């Protein structure tokens, strides 16, 4: 069994605690953490553990103040270094393969063994994959949530093609459809606060940070109860008792801009249609202009591949199928010359914030280019050992 101090598992009563402990990088997910977490979680799923709790270690800023962070994403800089030959090249396949297998294990965890994730602080990218597929996601007033991959020449992965098209929201324009929120979040990488997450159903509960210690204690105590069905969900009542029903979802960014989001992103088949819709809002539309400015910063290839992935993911029958598709996409993004390397260079290496995308415009990203990101991998296909199905 692989071990690392970046991941600290523990037991409190019959509650299995999964603590991400890489605070210097806002608990960014490494391959070592994945390899430590996977066997522990598999073992707990087979023993007397009644629930799991995933949390992030706090970090210090300026050597003084402790701040909260859940997980700022995967360690994409190390993947970048592997891709350009400065680390073992196999990491470009191993990281995504083993991360997605862990995502699938969490997504298909039995309902009577619920995972609770406490999103106190930053939760992005790979951190979303570790938690969004679990049964419960707790937001606080300090939560900052995003899937910002299109800005680094990648795509919202870790099962994003499964859960994003299935957000339980209805279009304001077409009865019964999920509306434009999912496409908007995936393409723009917009940061969300707790109010947005509750509004969109991405978070299941809202608890003020000052009550988190009490919540953790109550969750542990609930796993010792003998009055409940041993095969039942022992934490549901505890979470609801701590949930703050006064969270103001009506004032959230998503709620306030919902009509514009649906108008621009709902039911659009191409990026060009989305751009046209945003431009049609006129120069006086703050939402339209700011969203156009945001999309102009993103990799054109990432935008088109992401939208195609969401459309395909909406038609798939299981999270395992979605992760297999995403693994194909991830490996295409690892090809030499991919926008991923330019995106990471600009954001995390040189930090000039000026990526030179290739192709440089949406018009140059042809259908054939997009299709190349979905080609089967033959003997290198992802095997998630898919059993069961995930539910949001």
Mapped onto helix, strand or coil, the DSSP state of residue 367 is helix
What angle, 0 to 180 degrees and rounded to 10, lies between the N-to-C axes of helices 181-188 and 300-313? 150
Candidates 41, 7, 4, 38; CA nearest to 21 is: 7
Catalytic residue among 75, 99, 120, 149: 149
Alpha helix (H) residue ranges in 152-299:
160-163, 181-188, 194-200, 212-222, 236-242, 253-256, 258-265, 271-280, 286-297
Contact (CB, 8 A) for 94 and 83: no
Residues 74, 125, 160, 180: which is the catalytic one? 74
Is 320 annotated in the active site? no
User: Exactly one of 56, 83, 126, 159 is catalytic; which is it?
Assistant: 126
User: For this structure, is 353 an active site residue?
Assistant: no
Q: Which of 157, 195, 326, 339 is catalytic?
A: 157
Active site residue 74: yes
Taking alpha carbons only, the member of 155, 144, 230, 237 closest to residue 193 is 144
Is 288 among the catalytic positions? Answer: no
* Structure-token pair, residue 76: 């994409």
In angstroms, the Cα distances linking 62 to 65, 67, 175 are 7, 11, 51
Rounded to whole angstroms, the Cα distance separating 50 from 277 reads 49
Enzyme catalytic residues: 74, 126, 149, 157
């Amino acid at each position: 069994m692989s071990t690392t101090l970046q991941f600290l598992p523990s037991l409190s009563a019959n509650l299995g605690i999964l603590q991400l402990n890489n605070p210097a990088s806002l608990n960014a997910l490494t391959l070592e953490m994945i390899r430590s977490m996977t066997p522990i979680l598999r073992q707990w799923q087979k023993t007397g553990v009644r629930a799991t709790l995933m949390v992030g270690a706090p970090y210090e800023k300026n050597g003084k103040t402790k701040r909260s962070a859940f997980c700022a994403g995967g360690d994409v800089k190390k993947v970048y270094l592997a891709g350009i030959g400065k680390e073992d090249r196999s990491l470009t396949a191993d990281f995504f393969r083993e991360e997605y297998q862990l995502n699938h294990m969490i997504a298909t965890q039995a309902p009577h063994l619920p995972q609770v994730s406490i999103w106190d602080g930053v939760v992005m990218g790979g951190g979303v994959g570790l938690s969004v597929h679990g049964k419960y996601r707790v937001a606080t007033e300090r939560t900052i949530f995003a899937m910002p991959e299109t800005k680094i020449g990648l795509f919202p992965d870790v099962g994003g093609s499964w859960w994003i098209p299935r957000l339980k929201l209805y279009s304001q324009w077409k009865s019964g459809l999920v509306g434009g929120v999912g496409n908007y979040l995936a393409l723009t990488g917009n940061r969300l606060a707790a109010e947005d997450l509750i509004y969109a159903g991405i978070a299941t509960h809202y608890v003020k940070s000052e009550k988190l210690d009490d919540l953790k204690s109550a969750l542990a105590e609930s796993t010792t109860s003998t009055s409940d069905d041993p095969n039942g969900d022992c934490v549901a009542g505890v979470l609801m008792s701590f949930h703050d029903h006064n969270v103001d979802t009506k004032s959230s960014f998503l709620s306030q801009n919902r009509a514009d989001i649906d108008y621009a992103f709902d039911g659009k088949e191409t990026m060009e249609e989305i751009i046209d819709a945003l431009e049609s809002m006129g120069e006086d539309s703050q939402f339209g202009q700011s969203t156009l400015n945001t999309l102009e910063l993103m990799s054109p290839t990432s935008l088109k591949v992401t939208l195609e992935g969401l459309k395909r993911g909406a038609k798939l029958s299981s999270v395992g199928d979605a992760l297999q598709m995403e693994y194909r996409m991830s490996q295409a993004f690892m090809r030499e010359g991919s926008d991923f390397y330019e995106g990471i260079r600009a954001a995390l290496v040189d930090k000039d914030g000026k990526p030179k995308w290739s192709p440089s415009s949406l018009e140059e990203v042809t259908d054939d280019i997009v299709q190349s990101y979905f080609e089967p991998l033959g003997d290198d296909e992802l095997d998630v050992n898919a059993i069961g199905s995930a539910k949001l």
